[in-house]
Amino acid sequence: MAMLVVITEAVPPRLRGRLAVWLLEVRAGVYVGDVSKRIREMVWEQINVLADDGNVVMAWASNHESGFEFQTYGTNRREPWDQDGLRLVRFLPLDAN
């Protein structure tokens, strides 16, 4: 079991309801819980199916150098970036439109 955090933006209510089955919503769109790898993978499958045009970041405790891992779904200015085996976040430029 490991701590899991899921943060959502602009996702449909059906995904928010599904996340609330396994995790506690501590703020609007912010879910936390202590779940197994199997549940974490099942939560990610639900995000892929139900998130539509929203965006999501999911982070969990691990034994990596940083102490956690994360993955993202959807479009956001913050983009995961691997640097020498360390997962970082970089900002995409603002649209000129």
Q: Residue 96 falls within a domain, yes or no?
A: no
pLDDT at residue 65 in the model = 84
Question: Is it the case that residue 85 has pLDDT exceeding 90?
Answer: no
Helix (H) or strand (E) holding 83: strand 78-83
Contact 58, 80 (CB under 8 A): no
Would 57 be classed as within a structural domain? yes
Place of tokens 């199916």: 49
In a domain, 40, yes or no: yes
Report yes or no on 48 lying in a domain: yes
User: Which domain does 30 fall in, by range?
Assistant: 2-91
- The per-residue pLDDT for 32 is 98
pTM here? 0.90
pLDDT, tens digit (0-9, with 9 covering 90-100), for 38-84: 999 999 999 999 999 999 999 999 998 889 999 999 998 888 998 88
Could you read off the pLDDT of 2-51 as tens digits, one per residue?
999 999 999 999 999 999 999 999 999 999 999 999 999 999 999 999 99
| Calpha distance 95→97 (Å, rounded) | 5
- For residues 33 and 23, is the Cβ–Cβ distance under 8 A? yes
Phi, psi of 42 (to 5 degrees): -65, -40
- Look at the chain and report how many structural domains it folds into: 1
